[in-house]
Amino acid sequence: MLTAELLELIRNGENSGVEFKRDDVHPDSLAKEIGALLNLRGGHILLGVEKDGSVSGLTRDRQVAEEWVINICRQNIQPAIIPYWEVIPWDGDKLVAVITLPVDYPDKPYKSKRGGAWVTFVRVGSTSREATREEEARLYQASGLMRYDIRPVPGAALEDLDLRRLEDYFRQWRRQRSPRQGDLEAWTRLLLNCDLLEILEGEPERAAPTVGAMLLFGRNPNRFLPQAGIAAAAYHGAEKDYGTLERAVLRGPLVGWFSEAGELLESGVVEQAMEFVRRNTRVEGFITEGG
């Protein structure tokens, strides 16, 4: 980094990607800022710059300061990182250390040590705050470390899945036999192996359907996932207006129930959506049946 670039960072003040720190702060405080910046889009931490933008400079030997920062990044950040470190001369006899955190670190969320606990922090403007549960979940999803579809559904049990639809799934798509409907122990083993059931944390004897299983095969998915479904609307023309041909909220399991011969016995959301489109779609000058 050139001195002119450092000057520009200081002039612009702290923001979502820049933090000013003294080099004698507590390691937990520095780890908090490092983790928060990593969880956003990276950035720079300037050591030896006060909150008001005045430059006090490093108070310790540059080699000692570098080792201190590297140790924090390896011991107080989880997973450990190796930042880009450089020291810029300032105003003759002062030094400013720049910790650069690239935008492309892949393993979000990064957790910072606070006391004896690991905490996820996020950057909110020029401040770093503890992440909410929803913010932390989004970080896991963005990194690909957590798949929402394999999370267990609280309060649900195997009995809340429609075994008829599951039998269709294993017969038609996986080409394998499924257990008898009354053999719940065998069903549990099979669905655990397929990520359609998940052992509950702290309750090793209990398993709950995953979100994916409930959406696909649930007897009543909206009992546990009230937001699931499709809100459909058909308009007279290409533009949205107040007058509609039809409005509907499509609920239920995603997949239908078919006979062994392939005959649809009970629609799922997919079939309901296709039928809604058929009823309300003009194709090349004619209206499909039921339009």
How many domains in the chain? Answer: 3
Q: Is residue 150 part of a domain?
A: no
Q: Which segments of 154-260 are extended strands (E)?
A: 197-200, 203-209, 230-235, 244-250, 257-258
User: Coil, strand or helix: which one is 62?
Assistant: helix
φ, ψ of residue 287 in degrees (nearest 5):
-100, 130
Are 206 and 247 in a shared domain?
Answer: no
149 domain residue, yes or no: no
Per-residue pLDDT band at 59 (split at 50, 70, 90): very high
Residue range 247-278, pLDDT digits in tens = 999 999 998 998 888 899 999 999 999 999 99
pTM: 0.54
* pLDDT range class, residue 288, cuts 50, 70, 90: very low
Residues 241, 218, single domain; the answer is: no
The whole-angstrom separation of Cα 111 and Cα 229 is 35
Query: Residue 291: pLDDT above 70?
Result: no
169 in a domain, yes or no?
yes
pLDDT-derived band of residue 154, with 50, 70 and 90 as boundaries? Answer: confident
Does residue 172 surpass a pLDDT of 50? yes
φ/ψ of 201, rounded to 5, equals: -65, 130
Residues 6+ apart with CB under 8 A from 201: none
Boundary residue ending a domain (201, 224, 247): 224
Same domain, 45 and 119: yes
Q: Which residue has the higher pLDDT, 33 or 290?
A: 33
The whole-number pLDDT of residue 145 equals: 57
Instruction: Based on the fold, state whether residues 33 and 108 are members of the same structural domain.
Output: yes
Residues 67 and 170 placed together within one structural domain of the fold: no
Taking phi first (over 0 means left), then psi (-120 to 50 degrees means alpha), and beta for anything else, what does residue 189 get? alpha
Tell me which residue of 243, 268, 255, 271 sits closest to 168, measured CA to CA.
255
212 and 107 within one domain: no
Q: Which residues pair with 208 in a beta bridge?
A: 198
| CATH of residue 134 | 3.30.950.30
Pair 179, 66 in one domain = no
Q: Are residues 39 and 132 in the same domain?
A: yes
Check whether residue 115 and residue 214 sit in a common domain: no
Tell whether 148 is covered by a domain: no
Last residue of a domain, one of 143, 174, 205: 143
Q: Are residues 123 and 218 in the same domain?
A: no
CA angle 107, 109, 110 (to 5 degrees): 85
- Give the tens place of pLDDT for each residue, 3-22: 999 999 999 999 999 999 99
Query: Range of 259's domain?
Result: 230-287
Instruction: Tell me the average pLDDT of the chain.
Output: 89
Q: With 80 as the cut, is the pLDDT of residue 117 above it? A: yes
Share of the chain above pLDDT 90, in %: 65
d(CA 105, CA 103): 6
Q: Is residue 76 part of a domain?
A: yes
Higher confidence at residue 201 or residue 42? Answer: 42
Instruction: Please give the structure tokens belonging to residue 236.
Output: 């007279």
Does residue 163 sit in the same domain as residue 194?
yes
pLDDT of 104 strictly over 60: yes
Does residue 114 fall inside a structural domain? yes
Q: Are residues 132 and 167 in the same domain?
A: no
